[in-house]
């Protein structure tokens, strides 16, 4: 009889233990942005999730001119249109040169080019190694924040400091949570 009582209690104990473990695990830090054109028209979204290997960035574009576009994390959390120069330069807390093909690069804000289809949509996913959202020596969301910018042209992955990516066609301020 004691064995049956213990056997019946085991699933309840395991379920309770699993619930406690899940509740005790803190959620991964996140940030997100709504991307807009210089005239305020919606141009997509961006999300950033902190993980053990760095920052997982997902950018989804809508209403963007078909073709190949550079996408970068910029150093200032401002997106004043129409040209978005208020977003500053590329996020570069390590003081590297621009581009994955530059021997002295890349900036932490350098990401792969995004292909936008004939329907005006495109997406990229990328991991910024060693990045953090709000802690560490060089957090993404420091005192002046950060922004995601889609450029008019492709990044050449080498030319410092911008990769010859052209003007800024969409911008979104990253906000924590």
More confident residue, 108 or 1: 108
Which domain does 92 fall in, by range? Answer: 30-176
Residue 11 lies in a domain: no
pLDDT on residue 23: 63
Q: Torsion angle, CA of 74/156/98/117, rounded to 10 degrees?
A: 30
**Residue 11: band (very low, low, confident or very high) from pLDDT cuts 50, 70, 90:** very low
Average pLDDT of 84-99?
Answer: 90
Average pLDDT of 39-52?
Answer: 97
- If one counts every other C-beta atom within 10 angstroms of the C-beta of residue 154, the result is 17
- Judge whether 76 and 84 are in contact, CB under 8 Å: no
pLDDT on residue 47: 98
Average pLDDT of 101-123?
Answer: 92
pLDDT on residue 177: 87
- 116: enclosing H helix or E strand: strand 114-116
Q: Enter the DSSP assignment of 170.
A: E
Residue 13 lies in a domain: no
The domain tally of the chain equals 1
pLDDT on residue 20: 45
Residue 5 lies in a domain: no
Which CATH number belongs to the domain containing residue 136 in this structure? 2.60.40.200
Tokens of 100: 């994955």
Residue 12 lies in a domain: no
């Amino acid at each position: 009889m004691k064995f049956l009582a213990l056997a019946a209690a085991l699933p309840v104990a395991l379920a309770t233990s699993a619930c406690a473990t899940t509740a005790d695990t803190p959620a991964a830090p996140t940030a997100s942005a709504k991307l807009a054109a210089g005239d305020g028209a919606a141009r997509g979204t961006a999300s950033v999730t902190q993980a053990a290997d760095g920052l997982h960035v997902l950018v989804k574009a809508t209403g963007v001119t078909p073709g190949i576009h550079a996408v970068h994390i910029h150093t200032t959390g401002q997106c004043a249109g129409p040209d978005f120069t208020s977003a500053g330069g590329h996020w570069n807390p390590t003081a590297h040169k621009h581009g994955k093909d530059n021997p002295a690069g890349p900036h932490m804000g350098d990401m792969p080019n995004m292909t936008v289809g004939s329907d005006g949509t495109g997406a990229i996913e990328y991991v910024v190694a060693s990045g953090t959202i709000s802690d560490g020596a060089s957090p993404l969301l420091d005192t002046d924040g950060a922004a995601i910018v889609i450029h008019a042209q492709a990044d050449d992955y080498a030319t410092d400091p911008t990769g010859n990516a052209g003007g800024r066609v969409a911008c979104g301020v990253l906000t924590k949570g």
